[in-house]
Structure 1
Amino acid sequence: MNAALLLNVEGVSRRRAGRAAVTDVSFSLNGGEVMGLLGINGAGKSTTLSMLSGALRPDQGRIHLAGDDFVAHPELARRLVGWLPENAPSWPELSVEEHLQAFARLRGATRQAARRAADAIIGRLQLGDLRRRLAGVLSQGQRQRLGLACALVHDPALVILDEPANALDPVQVGELRKLIRERAAAGAAVVLSTHVLAEVVAVCDRVAILHEGRLRHDAALGGNEGGAALEATFFAVATGAAA
């Protein structure tokens, strides 16, 4: 694992719709590390992920990415962050290949580099049979794979995945796990948010659990800690027993 500090979140808070969605959340993430971000609905996961991706600015606190102030330099998100939101957006009139080239260009790639990047991720995610297909006619699982490819096309240093296994079949879930491990082995930091605790046990090094907008648990996921132990920890935090 690359032990270099990549992401440092210091006391971030954010209000949404007149209420505190996230309050005083702090954690750090090294390159090569995979962190599972858990919480019941309304715990603040989506707001936290949106701030990490650069889509939302925190009302308070700081986020440093690769040593630079992420809030003061929002262009860092374009170059260094790959984000798969739970409902990945797409342009129905563009083909899979056109999508990927467009996303690469948005990340600063030249036209030629964007074509190379699109070809590489199409090969890695086995999207060759969908290359010319319009996004508007893709199945839900195919759209999910396209969203994942768009998040990874520029080889980001920080990968943020929100429910990435949605609509994937068991074989594709296995490929997703392998892909996450590959990105971590290459030095990227990965934040995985999911309701499927088995996915966290399978690929994560540590677990952070939000409850009522606050970080209530942040610890390494030990090799002997299986799904039952994680489920017990999650239940205790989610019910307030561990507060």
Structure 2
Amino acid sequence: MSITVKEISKSYGSQKALDSVSFSLRKGEIVGFLGPNGAGKSTLMKILTTYLAPSAGTATVNDFDTATNIQQVRNSIGYLPEHNPLYLEMYVREYLKFNAEIYRIAKERIQEVIELTGLTTEAHKKIGQLSKGYRQRVGLANALLHNPEVLILDEPTTGLDPNQLLEIRSLIKNVGKTKTVLMSTHIMQEVEAICDRVIIINKGHIVADKKMSELRDGQQQIVVVAFDYRVEEVALSRLANVTGVKNTHDFTYEITFSTKEDMRSTVFDFAHDNQLKILQLNQKNVSLESLFLELTER
């Protein structure tokens, strides 16, 4: 496994930021790491990048323990923090050369990462002259300089315009073909577009760990129906395959079914049998955003 987290806990005094968190990531996976503010995302990423030690449990990167094999872990990881620290007065190539010399990386690698991250036309410019999208590319190029097997990206697409989003998304997907990528983000669409898998953390606990394919295939079906008269929710809950009923407003209900079969005909039959008129009848699927809200608002 590229990353293995076993029963990791972390406390700050009486406050428990992480509580027995466990998961593992394989090489070639791009995994979205989601959670509301204060859920424990940043704490776990700091543990994986050796900036923090856990209070209990173990974490390994490429089989190196983050608490005892610090330098080996750092050599294995490329890290792009949320607030990308760059020297704005330096030229792109100069900045990468500066970092390459610190880490004793061959000069040839500088041109390789410039080409890999699409910086060829910008390499002669000062970083301060670049758009935010290109500054993110510089951060990614720097994270890739030592050719790490694992990339940890903290909010890599925040604040980018639609064109920049597409560019960085494509870059991450391309890099993820040969590396393990753990990406923290608040943008659900980016997880759906980029990631193979999603892990959701809430209040220090993992509340979901699913492959995106499973999430899409196993989506629950929601039927939105508006009647001409109020209906008891318990009556709707007796319909086949119902897992939840919610009165959203007035005489409108959202009925959740645990099946892919179109259940609108069942709702229509219910209305007919109970002499109700249907004013609205729509079908929708549960999105990642809906799942996130459901799991983190409990």
TM-score between both structures, scaled by the size of structure 2: 0.71
CA contact (8 A) 2:30 2:196 kept: yes
Task: Give the RMSD, CA atoms, in angstroms.
Answer: 2.1
CA contact (8 A) 2:133 2:164 kept: no
Q: Deviations over 1:98-128 (max 9, x none)?
A: 222233344442xxx1x22211111222223
Matched, 1:233 2:288: no
Q: What is the alpha-carbon distance in structure 2 between the residues aligned to residue 213 and residue 138 of structure 1?
A: 37
| Runs of 4+ residues over 4 Å off in structure 1 | none
3-state SS in 1 of match to 2:7: strand
> Which residue in 1 is equivalent to 2:156?
164
Distance verdict in 2 for CA 1:128–1:34, change over 3 Å: same
Q: What is the alpha-carbon distance in structure 1 between the residues aligned to residue 16 and residue 292 of structure 2?
A: 22
In structure 2, list runs of 5 or more residues that go unmatched. Answer: 220-284
Deviation at 1:233, TM superposition (A): 1.3
Q: What is the alpha-carbon distance in structure 2 between the residues aligned to residue 42 and residue 101 of structure 1?
A: 37
Q: Deviations over 1:150-186 (max 9, x none)?
A: 1122221111111111233323322322222222222
CA contact (8 A) 2:64 2:73 kept: no
In structure 1, list runs of 5 or more residues that go unmatched. Answer: none
Distance verdict in 2 for CA 1:61–1:102, change over 3 Å: farther
Q: Deviations over 1:44-71 (max 9, x none)?
A: 1111111122222222211112122222
TM-score between both structures, scaled by the size of structure 1: 0.86
Moved more, 61-70 or 130-139: 130-139
Structure with the larger RCO, 1 or 2 (CA within 8 Å, 6+ apart): 1
| Paired residues for 1:1-243 under 5 Å | 5-16=1-12, 19-109=15-105, 113=106, 115-186=107-178, 188-222=179-213, 225=216, 228-240=286-298
3-state SS in 1 of match to 2:141: helix
Deviation at 1:223, TM superposition (A): 6.0
Q: What is the alpha-carbon distance in structure 2 between the residues aligned to residue 6 and residue 135 of structure 1?
A: 32
Deviation at 1:72, TM superposition (A): 0.7
CA contact (8 A) 2:78 2:152 kept: yes
Moved more, 205-214 or 117-126: 117-126
Instruction: Give aligned-pair identity as a percent.
Output: 36
